[in-house]
Amino acid sequence: MDSWPTVEMPYSYLLFGALSMVGAAVGRKCWFADDYRKLWPMLNLLLIGPSGIGKSSAIELNQTLLSQLDAKDRPQFIIGSASPEKLHEDLVVQPHAILYASELANFFNRQRYMEGMIPYVTELLDCRPIERRTKSGNIQHIAAPETTVVGGSTPEWLQDALPDNAVGGGFLPRFLIVKEDFRRQRIPNAEMALSKKEWSKALAIREDAYAEFKHIIAVASGPFRFADFGVVDSYSKWYLAHKAPNNHLAPFAARAPEMVKRMAMLIAISSFRDAISEADLNAAIAMYGYIESKLSEVVIPKSQMGKLSALVEASIPRDGATIEEVIHAMKSFIPAGDVDKYLNSLVRGGDVEYRDGKFYLMENKAVA
């Protein structure tokens, strides 16, 4: 992250994106030995935020890590939209792949030829053998899928355009969802933002990061376990205590253990270790807690009231707003008389606070 001091997108986009790139490059070379099954380190990532926050830019920056690798180590890049049949054909040829959907709406749309894409990708992300029958009757088989999906979306599209079964059916819970509301900083002129000395330092760090990434992928291999019984005990305590923040997020809580293990494994891989240490586990738990704290802002029941409440919350700027300003922002969506009802609900729920005549997002939501 220190190699990109002038970028405006949230640092979390770069951090989780870089972890996802490690997993995409490693593929099946490493795994967590989990009794009857292997847990691979591929980390599917979904960046959520308003238009212009830097989702696509973050995906492009993280993609430069993979560009450093030799062709034999680099996963196949699949960019843009494709039908399930075309995607399957590409993966039959090269199952080690990364699927980029910088705008998820373009990849999982409602056009007829895209029917079946969400069920197919859901099955694909289980990393088990998968096959499809072609129109001519032939069976195309992928014995060992190792595909990572990285995408971006606005909250509105995710809530409005995905089918209702995207959560309960297991599609979204297979993603690590990173939701941010604001850019980390605003830099009018990146070229003039740093001195020559600072630029030289940033570029040197960038080259070191590229070289380190290449080295990590070259040496990573074999099974991973917890380093000792102390780590096992720490994981067991978290596992038994962790619960879904609400019933609607239960499918995500069910997959939280594998997400934590994947991130802990990726942190260990990035540190040239072959076992998960206490520090690796604690970092993974903290990182998952950060993204989980915002999940309820993304995955909401698709009731009309839920959508309107989310819109009212989104209308409140970083520096707060009076009720008149919120009413003006929402005039195209709900009557003025209903705005107060939604604001009161948000205040009671702890999402918004009222002070000095203005409504403010709670501090954890107002910080990028």
The pLDDT of residue 367 = 39
Strand partners, 131: 141
Q: What is the pLDDT along the chain (368 residues), one digit of tens a residue?
A: 888 999 999 999 999 999 999 999 999 999 998 777 889 999 999 999 988 899 989 999 999 999 999 988 899 998 866 678 888 888 888 999 999 877 776 666 555 445 578 888 888 888 888 888 777 777 888 889 999 999 898 887 776 666 655 666 688 889 999 999 889 998 888 888 889 999 999 999 999 999 999 999 999 999 999 999 999 999 999 999 999 887 778 889 999 999 999 999 999 999 999 999 999 999 999 999 999 988 888 876 556 677 788 788 888 988 899 999 999 998 888 888 888 888 988 898 888 999 999 999 886 444 33
Same domain assignment for residues 49 and 106: yes
Tokens 């009757």 belong to residue: 137
Domain with residue 346: its CATH number is: 1.10.10.10
For residues 42-69, one letter each, b for 16 or more C-beta atoms within 10 angstroms of the residue's C-beta and e for the rest, the string is bbbbbbbbeeebbbbbbbebbbebbebb
**What is the four-CA torsion angle of 48, 56, 18, 166, rounded to 10 degrees?**
40
Residue 2 belongs to a domain: no
The pLDDT of residue 113 = 42
Same domain assignment for residues 203 and 334: no
Residue 87 belongs to a domain: yes
Return d(Cα 210, Cα 64) in angstroms, integer.
Answer: 8
Residue 62 belongs to a domain: yes
Return d(Cα 242, Cα 230) in angstroms, integer.
Answer: 18
Residue 1 belongs to a domain: no
Same domain assignment for residues 40 and 125: yes
The pLDDT of residue 366 = 41
Name every residue whose Cβ is closer than 8 Å to that of residue 316 and which is 6 or more positions away in sequence. 326, 352, 359, 360, 361
Same domain assignment for residues 32 and 121: yes
Residue 216 belongs to a domain: yes
Instruction: Report phi then psi at 109, rounded to 5.
Output: -100, 180
CA angle (249, 166, 91) in 5-degree steps: 125
Q: From the CB of residue 340, how many other CB atoms can be counted at a distance below 10 Å?
A: 13
Instruction: Report phi then psi at 87, rounded to 5.
Output: -60, -45
Q: From the CB of residue 211, how many other CB atoms can be counted at a distance below 10 Å?
A: 11
Q: Give the residue from 45, 114, 116 showing the smallest Cα distance to 83.
A: 114
How many domains does the structure of the chain reveal? 2
Same domain assignment for residues 156 and 285: yes
Q: Which of 280, 298, 316 is the last residue of a domain?
A: 298
Q: Which of 274, 298, 322 is the last residue of a domain?
A: 298
Domain with residue 283: its CATH number is: 3.40.50.300
The pLDDT of residue 221 = 93
Return d(Cα 274, Cα 297) in angstroms, integer.
Answer: 36
The pLDDT of residue 64 = 92
Residue 110 belongs to a domain: yes
What the block records as the tokens of 212 is: 């380190």
Q: Contacts from 257-260 at CB under 8 Å and sequence distance 24+?
A: 258/39, 259/43, 259/176, 259/288, 260/235, 260/284, 260/285, 260/288
Q: Which domain holds residue 240?
A: 11-298
Residue 332 belongs to a domain: yes
The pLDDT of residue 303 = 61
Same domain assignment for residues 93 and 229: yes
Instruction: Report phi then psi at 222, rounded to 5.
Output: 90, 180
Same domain assignment for residues 56 and 151: yes
Same domain assignment for residues 274 and 327: no
Same domain assignment for residues 292 and 320: no
Same domain assignment for residues 334 and 200: no
Same domain assignment for residues 31 and 129: yes
The pLDDT of residue 165 = 59
The pLDDT of residue 297 = 80
Query: What is the sign of the dihedral through the CA atoms of 235, 236, 241 and 247?
Result: positive
Same domain assignment for residues 18 and 139: yes
Query: What is the sign of the dihedral through the CA atoms of 352, 327, 8 and 216?
Result: positive
Strand partners, 147: 97
The pLDDT of residue 112 = 46
What the block records as the tokens of 116 is: 């079946």
Cα atoms found within 13 Å of the Cα of residue 343, Cβ hemisphere only = 25
Q: Give the residue from 117, 116, 150 showing the smallest Cα distance to 21.
A: 150
